[in-house]
Amino acid sequence: MNLVILGAPGSGKGTQAARIAEREKIRHISTGDLLREAVAKGTAVGKQVAGIMAAGQLVPDDVVLELIREKLADAEERAKTNGWILDGYPRTARQAEALEEVLKTTGETIDAVIYIDLDPDVVVNRLSKRRTCVACKAVYHLVSNRPAIQGKCDACGGEIVLREDDKPETIMKRLEVYKKETLPVLSLYEKHHKVHRVDGSKPIEEVTSEIAGLIGV
């Protein structure tokens, strides 16, 4: 089963992708992970990506697509699992079209698209209460996952802070970009694929069971 998961920042898309992958024994292909992995491995692409990220620029589409193509085509991983869930790509209609071209070369198709729907107010509320450890990057939440000692990381004792990305004004900007760029992907997919919408405001476990039910497993 090959899936694409879409959702706004803060919708829980990454968490759900990981849970569905685990449950269905399929690969979780996250563009964030692919980029970090490439940088960590120090491959040619990794070095290029590290430079771009250090300069605070966006990694070009063709670089991300190449990483995905390599991952999809990986014979060893293909032999081990029966499908994948793509998380973090495509973000734009152009990327969606490029992905279709890649899938032609791997002989695969997207079986279903999962869209996690979430009200922007809920997103802002969720993300602005998130705190991140400056040292180990552990993530906390002021309501649902508070550190034992206020302002200190449980894991390493580091300082926990509100990331620039999680400030309400930054979130609003990210949501604007998302609406402008990613909602066209949804319209495009609605024409060609089966799109399942789920309510992202429900608890994590409920959202996972709903997705599992919708994709028929």
- Give the residue numbers annotated as catalytic, written as ranges: 13, 91, 130, 163, 174
Q: How many CB atoms lie within 10 A of CB 77?
A: 13
- Map residues 136-175 to x or -, x wherever contact with Zn ion holds by CB under 5 A: x-x--------------x-xx-x-----------------
Residue 141 main-chain phi, psi, to 5 deg: -140, 130
CB within 8 Å of 174: residues ≥ 6 apart: 9, 165
CB of 71 to Zn ion, least distance (A): 29
Nearer to Zn ion by Cβ, of 138 and 183: the residue is: 138
Q: How far apart are alpha carbons 185 and 183 in whole angstroms?
A: 5
Nearer to Zn ion by Cβ, of 120 and 158: the residue is: 158
CB of 158 to Zn ion, least distance (A): 4
SS in 3 state form for 75-102? HHHHHHCCCEEEECCCCCHHHHHHHHHH
Q: How far apart are alpha carbons 87 and 60 in whole angstroms?
A: 17
Question: Which residues inside 119-138 make contact with Zn ion, applying CB under 5 A?
Answer: 133, 135-136, 138
204 is an interface residue for Zn ion by CB under 5 A: no
- Give the binding-site size for Zn ion (rule: CB under 5 A): 8
Binding site for Zn ion (CB under 5 A): 133, 135-136, 138, 153, 155-156, 158
